[in-house]
C-alpha cells in the first residue's frame, strides 16, 4: 500500500494511502458476516458503511437482481419507463403517503443534490427570490459540491472551503439545548424573512458527525416553524431510512412531515448503488408548465436503473416476509441494556442510542473529532477480534445488519467493554 509506485492499482475512499494498512480482501458475505480470502470470518458491525439491512448476499434480493439482469439491465429513463421503476415508486409512496412523486438517482449525494435543486428551482419557477438554505452545523450530506456546501465546515470540507456556497448553520438541538436552538432558529428566520428556500436535516441522528442525536419533539418544532414560514423541508434519510432508527423512517416519529425526502444506502438492502428523492405534490406541481425551462434540470445516466429498482423492491419484500421490525426491536433492546451497563464507565464520555444505532463517545485527552488517534487504536483492536467497527474519531458506534444474532451482538459488546478497560 505505501509504495508510491507499487503494484496496487486502487485509490481507496477516505483513506490516507501512505499510512493505511493493506486493505483486507473479502471474498464472500453471508448474513452479518464477511469472509476474507484466508477464510477468517468477521462480524460486519457497521453494515458495510451503513448500507446493508437484511444480511449479505440475501438470497431473495440476489435472485431478484439475477432475474432482472436477464430481462432488462438498463434503459434510458427520459422518455422510457419500466415495471420495476413503477412498482418501486408505488411501494415507496405506500410507505410515504404524504408524498406523491419519486425521483431516482444513484447514491446519497445525488439524492441530496436532486432535493436541493428541487427546492431552489421551486422558488425560481415561482419567481420568488428565495436562495438561502439552512443546515445543521455538524451535518453531513455527501461529498459532491452541493452536498459539501450544506455540510459541516470541518475536516472533510476544508480543502474546498473557498468554493462552497454559503448556508445558514443552525445548532443541533441535542438534549438540554432544545430551547436555545429553537430561539436561534427563530432569529435566523426573522433575520432572513422570505429569503430562505429550504431547511435540510438528518432526522434524529447525524451520522458522520459522530452519531449525534436529538429528539423528534424538537424536530417537530423546527418543522412547524418552517411550515409557518413557507420554507421547504428536506429530510436526508440516507442513513436513517429503512428501519435504522426503529421506524421505517426517522421522520415517522414526527407529526409534521417533510416536503422532500432523500433515500439511499439501505434502499437496495445494501446490494447496489441507488437512490430516490421523494416529494409532495406541491413541490412537483411547481415544475409543471408549458415552458420547458421549468423542468427539473437533473438526471444521471443510470437514473432508475432496473437492477437497482429490483433490488429495492426485493428488500422491501423482505420487510414484509421476515418480520424485520421485531429484529430491529430486539437490537434496540440489547443496545439499551448495554448502554445502561457502560454509561458510567470511567472511559466513557457519553452513550447514545436510537433504534439500531448505538454510539459510545470515549473520553479523550486530545481534541475529539474525526482525526482523533484513538480511532486507529480502536479499529485495530476490533479487527484483531474479527469485528468490523470503524470509529468516527473518538466515537465507537455499532450499526449492525438487522439479521445479526443476539450472540454476535453480545460478542461486539464484550469487545467494546474490553477496549474500554484497556
Binding site for ligand PLP (CB under 6 A): 107-109, 112, 140-142, 202, 207, 236, 238-239, 264
Q: Smaller CB distance to ligand PLP: residue 52 or 109?
A: 109
Query: Contact, 57 vs 41, CB < 8 A?
Result: no
CB of 13 to ligand PLP, least distance (A): 9
Catalytic annotation, pick one of 33, 42, 104, 140:
140
> Shortest distance, CB of residue 248 to ligand PLP, whole angstroms?
16
- 33 included as an active-site residue: no
Residue closer to ligand PLP (CB basis): 85 or 399:
399
Q: How far is the CB of 411 from ligand PLP (least distance, A)?
A: 26
When the beta carbons of 238 and 395 are compared against ligand PLP, the nearer one is 238
Residues in the chain: 422
User: Among residues 56 and 141, whose Cβ is nearest to ligand PLP?
Assistant: 141
Q: Is 15 helix (H, G, I), strand (E, B) or coil?
A: coil
Task: Please give the distance of CA 349 from its chain centroid, rounded to a whole number.
Answer: 24
Active site residue 14: yes
The residue whose Cβ lies closest to ligand PLP is 108
Instruction: Give dist(CA 70, CA 98) in Å, integer.
Output: 35
Catalytic site residue from 44, 106, 138, 236: 236
Q: Least distance in Å: CB of 391 to ligand PLP?
A: 16
In this complex, which beta carbon is closest to ligand PLP, that of residue 83 or of residue 117? Answer: 117
236 is catalytic: yes
Query: In terms of Cα–Cα distance, which of 28, 86, 36, 84 is closest to 57?
Result: 28
Among residues 355, 318, 84, 77, the alpha carbon closest in space to that of 205 is found at 355
Of 14, 67, 98, 377, the catalytic one is 14
Rounded to a whole number of angstroms, the minimum distance from the CB of residue 301 to ligand PLP is: 16
Compute the least distance from the CB of residue 212 to ligand PLP, in Å.
Answer: 12
Task: Closer to ligand PLP by CB, 170 or 415: give it.
Answer: 170
Q: Choosing from 138, 265, 302, 402, which is the catalytic residue?
A: 265
Phi and psi at residue 143, in whole multiples of 5°? -115, 0
Distances (CA, A) of 284 to 24, 228, 252: 45, 20, 22
Please, is 19 exposed, middle or buried when counting C-beta atoms within 10 Å of its C-beta (0-12, 13-18, 19+)? Answer: exposed
What residues contact 190, with CB distance under 8 A and at least 6 apart?
none
User: 224, 296, 293, 292: which is closest to 258 by C-alpha?
Assistant: 224
> What's the grid cell of residue 32?
452479518
Return the active site residues: 14, 140, 236, 265
Amino acid at each position: 500500500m505505501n509504495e508510491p509506485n507499487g503494484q496496487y492499482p486502487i485509490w481507496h475512499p477516505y483513506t490516507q494511502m501512505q499510512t493505511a494498512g493493506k486493505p483486507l480482501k473479502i471474498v464472500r458475505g453471508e448474513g452479518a458476516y464477511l469472509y476474507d480470502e484466508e477464510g477468517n470470518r468477521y462480524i460486519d458491525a457497521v453494515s458495510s458503511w451503513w448500507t446493508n439491512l437484511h444480511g449479505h448476499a440475501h438470497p431473495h434480493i440476489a435472485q431478484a437482481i439475477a432475474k432482472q439482469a436477464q430481462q432488462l439491465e438498463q434503459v434510458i429513463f427520459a422518455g422510457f419507463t419500466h415495471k420495476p421503476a413503477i412498482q418501486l415508486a408505488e411501494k415507496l409512496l405506500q410507505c410515504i403517503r404524504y408524498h406523491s412523486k419519486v425521483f431516482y438517482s444513484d447514491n446519497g449525494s445525488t439524492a441530496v443534490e436532486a432535493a436541493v435543486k428541487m427546492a431552489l428551482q421551486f422558488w425560481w419557477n415561482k419567481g420568488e427570490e428565495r436562495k438561502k438554505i439552512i443546515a445543521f452545523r455538524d451535518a453531513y450530506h455527501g461529498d459532491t459540491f452541493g452536498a459539501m456546501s450544506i455540510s459541516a465546515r470541518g475536516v472533510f470540507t476544508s480543502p474546498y472551503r473557498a468554493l462552497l456556497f454559503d448556508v445558514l448553520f443552525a445548532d443541533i438541538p441535542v438534549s438540554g439545548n432544545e430551547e436555545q436552538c429553537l430561539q436561534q432558529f427563530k432569529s435566523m428566520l426573522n433575520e432572513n424573512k422570505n429569503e430562505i428556500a429550504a431547511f435540510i436535516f438528518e432526522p434524529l441522528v447525524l451520522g458522520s458527525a459522530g452519531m449525534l442525536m436529538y429528539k423528534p419533539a424538537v424536530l417537530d418544532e423546527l418543522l412547524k416553524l418552517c411550515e409557518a414560514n413557507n420554507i421547504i423541508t428536506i429530510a436526508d434519510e440516507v442513513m436513517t431510512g429503512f428501519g435504522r432508527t426503529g421506524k421505517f423512517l426517522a421522520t415517522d416519529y414526527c407529526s409534521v412531515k417533510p416536503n422532500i425526502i432523500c433515500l439511499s444506502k439501505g434502499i437496495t438492502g445494501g446490494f447496489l448503488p441507488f437512490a430516490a428523492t421523494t416529494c409532495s405534490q406541491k413541490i412537483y406541481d411547481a415544475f409543471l408548465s408549458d415552458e420547458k425551462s421549468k423542468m427539473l434540470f437533473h438526471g444521471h445516466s443510470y437514473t432508475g436503473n432496473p437492477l437497482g429498482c429490483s433490488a429495492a423492491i426485493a428488500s422491501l419484500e423482505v420487510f414484509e416476509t421476515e418480520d424485520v421490525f421485531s429484529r430491529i426491536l430486539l437490537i434496540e433492546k440489547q443496545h439499551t441494556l448495554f448502554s445502561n451497563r457502560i454509561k458510567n464507565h470511567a472511559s466513557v464520555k457519553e452513550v447514545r442510542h436510537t433504534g439500531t444505532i448505538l454510539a459510545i463517545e470515549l473520553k479523550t485527552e486530545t481534541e475529539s473529532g474525526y482525526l482523533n488517534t484513538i480511532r486507529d487504536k480502536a479499529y485495530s483492536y476490533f479487527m484483531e477480534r474479527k469485528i468490523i467497527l470503524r470509529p468516527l474519531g473518538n466515537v465507537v458506534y455499532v450499526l449492525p445488519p438487522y439479521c445479526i444474532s443476539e450472540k454476535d451482538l453480545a460478542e461486539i459488546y464484550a469487545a467494546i467493554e474490553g477496549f474500554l478497560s484497556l
